[in-house]
């Protein structure tokens, strides 16, 4: 019986060590950084926990309860700022100041919301040289607000892809929007704040990411990455620009102003020209001068010439 217990303990330990850890957001280490943990149902929050994961262990950073208040770890108390000390407004973002290389690692944010349940987000903090924000733009899409935007990419390589990932790349963080295991046809559930959906079918070589009802805040770089089991990858980056509508309003307003000016100016010019023509006298000297230049014909009577008589 003791051997069986020992064997089961080893099996559980092996399973825990081999379990792959996925992170929802990658943040570049900086002296001041923010770890975001927003959820659409955050207004029903009852408790929030920030922990740092060290292998199989967890280190508490801060715990916030709408009933019991907030408890901060002494280890992080002088290096973090957590704005929530009252029930509202709720902002679960964890702010670091004077961060150093010692803060590189995995962090987890857990929200307890009634009646939604428990929601957890994992954030990876990496050093600058490990922060892969490089993205050579391959395409660009411009959309008006409120439209449904579909981002698509087809694998250009001949090898078989095992995984496809859609990301939003920003200056200080990269958010995983969709992660699909193509060998199993299993899709990872995104912890990204906005609504979106993507395709995920076994053996597929084309991936779609759909963003319904886009807003100007959705503007940015989106990256699609196909990966093979041997480490090969094929990356495609798209820049999405969502207009704010102000440029269209200015264009319409400018066109209206120009039209009104044209309506006012053209009749004014026409009236001025007619007034200038009417100012000229109908018996001007020009007419007499023209008459003086004409030839005058006078009819003289013709008298017969008398012949002289010769004596």
List domains and CATH numbers for the chain.
21-131 (2.60.40.10), 132-246 (2.60.40.10)
Question: Model's pTM, two decimal places?
Answer: 0.71
Residue 272 pLDDT more than 90? Answer: no
For residue 152, the Cα-to-chain-centroid distance in whole angstroms is: 16
Burial of 109 (0-12, 13-18, 19+ CB in 10 A): buried
pLDDT of residue 180: 94
pLDDT, tens digit, 9 for 90 and up, residues 16-68: 434 466 899 999 999 999 999 988 777 788 999 999 999 889 999 999 998 88
Core vs surface per residue 47-80: b (16+ CB within 10 A) or e: bbbbbbeeeeeeeebbbbebeeeeebeeebeeeb
- Give CA–CA dist 153/234, Å, rounded: 10
* pLDDT tens digit sequence for 244-268: 866 555 445 556 657 777 677 776 7
Is there a contact between 216 and 242 (Cβ–Cβ < 8 Å)? yes
Share of the chain above pLDDT 70, in %: 71
Q: What whole-number distance in Å separates Cα of residue 113 and Cα of residue 47?
A: 7
Residue 12 pLDDT > 50: no
137-153 pLDDT per residue, tens: 999 999 999 999 999 99
Joined together, the tokens standing for residue 204 give 């597929």
Would the pLDDT of 154 be above 60?
yes
CA distance linking residue 29 with residue 2, whole number of Å: 47
46 Cβ contact partners less than 8 Å away, ≥ 6 residues apart: 65, 66, 67, 112, 113, 114
Q: How far is CA 291 from CA 138, 283, 294, in A?
A: 81, 12, 5
DSSP string, the chain: -HHHHHHHHHHHHHHHHHPPPP-SEEEE--SEEEE----TTGGGEEEEEEEEEETTEEEEEEEEETTTEEEE-TTTTTTEE---SSSSS---PEEEES--GGG-EEEEEEEEETTTEEEEEEEEEE-GGG------EEEEEEE-TT--EEEEEE--SSSPPSEEEEEEE-SSEEEEEEEEETTTTEEEPP--SS--EE---TT-SEEEEEESS--GGG-EEEEEEEE-TTS-EEEEEEEEEE--SHHHHHHHHHHHHHHHHHHHHHHHHHHHHHHHHHTS-TT-HHHHHHHHTS-----PPPPPPPPPPP-
What are φ and ψ of residue 136, in 5° steps? -80, 115
The pLDDT score that the predictor gives to residue 242 is 97
């Amino acid at each position: 019986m003791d051997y069986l217990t020992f064997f089961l303990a080893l099996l559980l330990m092996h399973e825990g060590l081999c379990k792959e850890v996925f992170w929802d957001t990658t943040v570049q280490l900086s002296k001041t950084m923010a770890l975001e943990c927003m959820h659409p149902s955050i207004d029903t929050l009852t408790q929030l926990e920030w922990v740092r994961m060290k292998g199989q262990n967890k280190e508490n950073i801060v715990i916030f309860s709408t009933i019991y208040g907030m408890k901060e770890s002494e280890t992080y108390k002088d290096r973090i700022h957590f704005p929530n000390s009252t029930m509202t407004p709720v902002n679960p973002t964890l702010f670091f100041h004077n961060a150093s290389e010692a803060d590189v690692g995995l962090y987890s944010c857990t929200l307890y919301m009634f009646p939604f349940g428990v929601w957890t987000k994992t954030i990876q903090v990496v050093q600058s040289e490990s922060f892969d924000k490089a993205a050579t733009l391959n395409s660009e899409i411009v959309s008006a607000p409120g439209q449904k935007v579909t981002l698509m990419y087809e694998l250009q390589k001949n090898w078989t892809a095992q995984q496809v990932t859609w990301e939003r790349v920003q200056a200080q963080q990269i958010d995983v929007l969709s992660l699909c295991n193509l060998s199993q046809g299993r899709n990872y559930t995104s912890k990204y704040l906005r609504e979106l959906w993507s395709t995920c079918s076994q053996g597929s070589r084309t991936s779609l990411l759909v963003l319904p009802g886009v807003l100007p805040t959705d503007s940015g770089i989106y990256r699609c990455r196909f990966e093979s089991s041997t480490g090969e990858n094929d990356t495609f980056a798209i820049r999405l620009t969502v207009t704010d509508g102000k440029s269209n309003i200015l264009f319409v307003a400018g066109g209206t102003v120009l039209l009104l000016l044209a309506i006012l100016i053209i009749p004014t010019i026409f009236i001025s020209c007619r007034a200038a023509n009417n100012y000229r006298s109908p018996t001007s000297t020009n007419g007499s001068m023209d008459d003086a230049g004409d030839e005058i014909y006078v009819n003289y009577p013709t008298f017969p010439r008398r012949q002289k008589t010769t004596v």
